[in-house]
Amino acid sequence: MTTADTTPTPAHDADQIHELRERMITRMWAINALRTDQVAQAVRAVPRHEFASEFAADEVYDMNAVLRTRFGPDGETTSSVSGTWVQALMLEHADIGPGMRVLEVGSGGYNAALIAELVGPDGAVTSIDIDPAVIDRARDCLAAAGYTDRVRLAVADAEHGFPDGAPFDRIIVTAGADDLPPAWTDQLVQGGRLVVPFSVRGFERIYVFTRSSERLLVGEGGDVAGFVRMQGQGEHVQRQVPVAEGVTFTTDADPLPDQDKLAQVFIQPAHEEWTGVRMGPREFFATLQMWLATDMPGFGTLTGDADALGHAPMPGQRTPALWNGTSLAYLVLPRVSTDPDQWEYLVRGHGPNATTLVDSLVERVRRWDTDHRGGPGPRLLASPDLPPGDEVIPTRHTYLVARWDQPLDTPRLDWEADPET
């Protein structure tokens, strides 16, 4: 692993920092990432530049900037100081009060210092990281910012939590997780909260789980996140099947689709059906991805460009797709009007059962449009015990059930309100 180049060190001017930080706070209130004075005060109190001395002040105090500090052998980011908006949002979700005991999983120092502000002198903050160099760096930064005695640091793998400091009132995970290890539930007090960037079949969302009983977590939330991936025992290697030149199918389905069969099906003529569901510019479709991912057996995503898929894929080139063993169907999003700008979901399919599979995907998209568009996404129930009679998503440690009955007034981020865009 390598660390970000730390020279030269930009000088940080106190007036400039004050101005930049206030601007950042204004933006975070505007988009609803900040929701309480307590979290805003913590952001005001902690000198973020002390945790990112190798970066210029305007970057440090840009709410969207992810400050990348550690890189793996292929150049991928393995550690960063996360964007401030997401740190603030997760702290708001955590609802941390004075005197609480909090575990942060994935360290860096800055977020731990914010938590220290929120728990105050009677609370306790433990921050763990799997990478000893991250802990060393965090220790130096916390010392420079004056938080040495207020945060306990340790090298540990998230998979086991941190038994020594348990039980915790709150656990905040800051690396992308694909599972909920039993240690997290066990080390949380009854009614305690676990805030985590959590992927369901490849779609990462910020979830706030509450420990509602001995073995049950109930999660709400659903804002889109993009964290560095979990390493160590909880690392999840995405299973990919090459389908054609530039086209890959990614799925958790077990067994994996047969590559030759999938490739043969993909070159057969396409059956297409319009859904009648249109989108305008900058519309929110994150719940559609979750709606499809949470209860379609054979679900996966197809990566490929418009040439390969016949039409424009969904943004981010992660096109929801279904494989039923003989046929493939997937969702594309061609632009259908330029004045006004509009896109319409279209379903394509290949193979002997393409028509049936395409119909079921079309019907699903239409139900999202009528029942869940603009809504908050699903509640997630997570337990190591198999629930009776529900559609279940199995992960290594837990069974997940998605419930689409969340009340519709959950506060959401509002990116349109950012005064600087």
Minimum distance of ligand SAM from residue 275's CB (angstroms)? 37
Residues 40-99 that bind ligand SAM (CB under 6 A): 78-82
> Phi and psi at residue 140, in whole multiples of 5°?
-60, -45
Catalytic residue numbers read 82
Q: Is 227 in the site for ligand SAM (CB under 6 A)?
A: yes
Task: State which residue, 170 or 348, has the beta carbon closest to ligand SAM.
Answer: 170
Residue with tokens 């030149």: 245
Q: Binding string, 312-341, against ligand SAM, x = CB under 6 A?
A: ------------------------------
Q: Is 183 in the site for ligand SAM (CB under 6 A)?
A: no
Minimum distance of ligand SAM from residue 293's CB (angstroms)? 23
Minimum distance of ligand SAM from residue 103's CB (angstroms)? 11
Minimum distance of ligand SAM from residue 307's CB (angstroms)? 35
And the tokens for 147? 């938080």
Determine which helix (DSSP H) or strand (DSSP E) holds 323, and give its type and residue range: strand 319-323
Minimum distance of ligand SAM from residue 86's CB (angstroms)? 9
Out of 34, 141, 230, 357, point to the residue binding ligand SAM (CB under 6 A): 230
Task: State which residue, 152 or 278, has the beta carbon closest to ligand SAM.
Answer: 152
Task: State which residue, 80 or 275, has the beta carbon closest to ligand SAM.
Answer: 80
Minimum distance of ligand SAM from residue 140's CB (angstroms)? 14
Distance (Å, whole) CA 55 – CA 280: 37
Q: Binding string, 91-130, against ligand SAM, x = CB under 6 A?
A: -------------xxxxxxxx----------------xxx
And the tokens for 266? 């993909």
Positive or negative: CA dihedral 162, 164, 167, 170:
negative
Burial class of residue 155, CB neighbours in 10 A (0-12, 13-18, 19+) = middle
Name, in order, each residue with C-beta under 8 angstroms of 12's C-beta and a sequence gap of 6 or more. 49, 53, 57, 60
Distance (Å, whole) CA 115 – CA 78: 22
Q: Dihedral angle at the C-alpha atoms of 285, 40, 220, 301, nearest 10 degrees?
A: 40
And the tokens for 112? 């731990």
Out of 92, 131, 223, 369, point to the residue binding ligand SAM (CB under 6 A): 131
Burial class of residue 165, CB neighbours in 10 A (0-12, 13-18, 19+) = middle
Distance (Å, whole) CA 144 – CA 141: 5
Is 234:119 a contact under the CB 8 Å cutoff? no
Per-residue burial over 46-60, b if 16 or more Cβ lie within 10 Å, else e, is bbbbbbbeebebeeb
Residues 257-316 that bind ligand SAM (CB under 6 A): none
Distance (Å, whole) CA 221 – CA 207: 5
Report how many residues bind ligand SAM under the rule CB under 6 A: 28
Q: Is 226 in the site for ligand SAM (CB under 6 A)?
A: no
Task: State which residue, 238 or 324, has the beta carbon closest to ligand SAM.
Answer: 238
Residues 146-175 that bind ligand SAM (CB under 6 A): 157-158, 174-175
Task: State which residue, 183 or 328, has the beta carbon closest to ligand SAM.
Answer: 183
Task: State which residue, 79 or 126, has the beta carbon closest to ligand SAM.
Answer: 79
Distance (Å, whole) CA 37 – CA 160: 34
Out of 47, 221, 234, 377, point to the residue binding ligand SAM (CB under 6 A): 234
Which among 12-20, 229-237, 240-248, 249-257 is the span making contact with ligand SAM, rule CB under 6 A? 229-237
Minimum distance of ligand SAM from residue 69's CB (angstroms)? 8
Per-residue burial over 409-421, b if 16 or more Cβ lie within 10 Å, else e, is eeebbeeeebeee
Distance (Å, whole) CA 35 – CA 31: 10
Using CB under 6 A, list all residues that contact ligand SAM: 78-82, 104-111, 128-131, 134, 157-158, 174-175, 227-228, 230-232, 234
